[in-house]
Structure 1
Amino acid sequence: MIILESERMLFRPHEASDLEAFCAMEQDPDVRRYVGGAPRTREVAEERFWNRAMQIVDDRLAMWACVLKASGDYIGRCGLYATVQGEARIPGEAVLGYYLRREFWGQGLATEAVRAFVTFGFEELKLNRIVSTVQEGNESSLHILKKLGFVVTDCEQGARSFYKFELKAPSTQKISAGGASC
């Protein structure tokens, strides 16, 4: 079942055949540097794959497998998932998440995936707002979100500092004077 397509990628539920590429990505220190810090062990990566990536969803809000159309290669994860405050979902809002295997960086694939999910979120899911968080220093992700119109709304300082971004549905956007900075 294909959830979404872009020019070069398919986005679908994870399949058992994605396990090796998923685990390699989770164990790569360069990939994990800005999405949780340390690389995961093989055991933790497998547990995460079977207990989270393979989860069945019924509302199309999930982190989906990103697969190249041309080769069928599993290249990462991307999607929109429910924004939760306390134990309640925030209606009309979702969190954008994405990361790709290192060998697929620098090819415009992350931008293409984010653009596809933003369109999907606003046009198909009828969201009012999409949010995302990017660790300070992750210049590639900062560039992608800013290029696609996301605005910095806050900055969390700490051992690891994070920019918080938002993008409002085109019908609800107001011109902003900028945003927060770290």
Structure 2
Amino acid sequence: MRIETDRLILRRLEDTDCERMFILHSDPEVMKYLEKPITHIQESKDMIKMIQKQYEENGVGRLAVIEKESGLMIGWSGLKLLTEPINNHVNTLDLGYRFIPEFWGKGYAMETAKAALHYGFNELNADFIYAYADSGNTGSNYILGKLGFERTGEFEDSGAICFWYKLKREQYI
């Protein structure tokens, strides 16, 4: 799978992405509202293997984001199938994105999210796509609102209050 935008390429994660994944997931600022930063490259290798397994089993998973200009993997974005319950939802598509801080503020989250939503609604024929973000993560909550997601509730995840969002196909198209 490969999705192109004006400035970016979204493609399946490859084993060779482990160093850039480590840079992303070991950064305390990136992980501020998430789990603890990783400390060993093996953790990023394991993460990539897990996502590759999602491609095989579910036909969908987060995608590496490559900046065309630099050729660098700058983060990941896209849809994944929630196979474990989150906020009492299971077997639903979840939008997510995460970028290395030097690439923040350039509109890449919005650009990749729009491409992922287009794929989800038009290629996967989803009726709904969901997302969630820590209530304190103003950047992610702003982006989800700007994309047209409706905040439908909140729940606790690992001790943090998260906002739950839903986007209907007809709201997006």
Do they fold alike, i.e. is TM over 0.5? yes
State the Cα deviation string for residues 145-171 of structure 1 (Å, max 9, x = none). 00010011111147311000000101x
Give the TM-score of the pair, scaled to structure 2: 0.86
State the Cα deviation string for residues 87-112 of structure 1 (Å, max 9, x = none). x963xx41111111111001000011
**Counterpart in the other structure of 1:55:** 53
State the Cα deviation string for residues 62-113 of structure 1 (Å, max 9, x = none). 0111111122100111111113366x963xx411111111110010000111
**Counterpart in the other structure of 2:67:** 68
SS at match of 2:6: coil
Aligned residues: 166
SS at match of 1:161: strand
**Counterpart in the other structure of 1:180:** none
SS at match of 1:77: strand
Gap change, CA 1:63 and 1:27, over 3 Å in 2: same
Deviation at 1:19, TM superposition (A): 1.2
Gap change, CA 1:169 and 1:65, over 3 Å in 2: same
Deviation at 1:43, TM superposition (A): 4.7
Ranges of 4+ aligned residues in structure 1 off by more than 4 Å: none
**Counterpart in the other structure of 1:20:** 19
Q: Which has the larger radius of gyration?
A: 1
Which residue type is aligned with residue 103 of structure 1?
E
**Counterpart in the other structure of 1:40:** 38
State the Cα deviation string for residues 9-55 of structure 1 (Å, max 9, x = none). 1111112331111101110000011232x211115523433432443
Structure 2 CA distance for aligned equivalents of residues 148 and 50 of structure 1: 27
Give the TM-score of the pair, scaled to structure 1: 0.82
Percent identity of equivalent pairs:
30
**Counterpart in the other structure of 2:144:** 145
Gaps of 5+ in 2: none
Gap change, CA 1:155 and 1:45, over 3 Å in 2: same
SS at match of 1:11: strand
Asked if the contact 1:3–1:60 (Cα under 8 Å) also holds between the matched residues in 2, the reply is no
Structure 1 CA distance for aligned equivalents of residues 90 and 33 of structure 2: 25
Structure 1 CA distance for aligned equivalents of residues 168 and 97 of structure 2: 19
Structure 2 CA distance for aligned equivalents of residues 157 and 60 of structure 1: 28
Gaps of 5+ in 1: 174-182
**Counterpart in the other structure of 1:167:** 167
SS at match of 2:105: coil
Gap change, CA 1:55 and 1:84, over 3 Å in 2: closer
